[in-house]
Amino acid sequence: METRLWSLIRSFQASAISCQPWPFLALAWIVLTASLACEVERRKSDAELGLTPRQAEGRHLYDQYCDRCHAPYSSRGRQGPPMKGIFKKPYMSISGLPANDERVEDIIRIGRNKMQGFGNVLTEEQIQALLAYMHTL
């Protein structure tokens, strides 16, 4: 056993001395892959989330317009605050405004601070679908 261990050590030293990059690249690849795997989670389908057709439409709209700034299922935000559990609290975390359909709809329609409004982009029906989806977060 001891000779096998020394053989492996000498082999590693030889490759390190001859400047073979592959052992180091392989190790870097493994570390990078492992660190990314901690963050990435398979996206669940609408059916797996138990979404109604209206909520599924809202999810599609969220992906198209909101996701770039607001993380839906994470407590870590992006440019804007995360939306996870937005309607489960009485007040929105950053603004302190009431976390209800009326206030969130106003923010979607008109915008707030750095967020642009989407009142000229989304129809009333689309905004309602988006709110329905946001209630599932």
pLDDT at residue number 123: 96
H or E element at residue 23: helix 22-39
- Would you state the structure tokens that stand for residue 33, as one six-digit string? 């892959």
The per-residue pLDDT for range 65-114, each reduced to its tens digit, is: 998 888 776 656 567 788 888 899 898 877 888 999 999 999 999 998 88
Q: How far apart are the first and last CA of the chain?
A: 55
Higher pLDDT, 129 or 5: 129
Q: Confirm if 61 and 67 have CB atoms less than 8 A apart.
A: no
Complete DSSP assignment for 67-103: TTTS-SS-SS-SSS---TTGGGSSB-TTT--B-SHHH
pTM of the model: 0.65
Complete domains list, the chain, with CATH = 2-39 (no CATH), 47-134 (1.10.760.10)
Contact assessment for residue 83 and residue 74, using Cβ atoms and an 8 Å cutoff: no
Q: Which of the given ranges, 38-47, 68-77, 89-98, 121-130, has the highest pLDDT on average?
A: 121-130
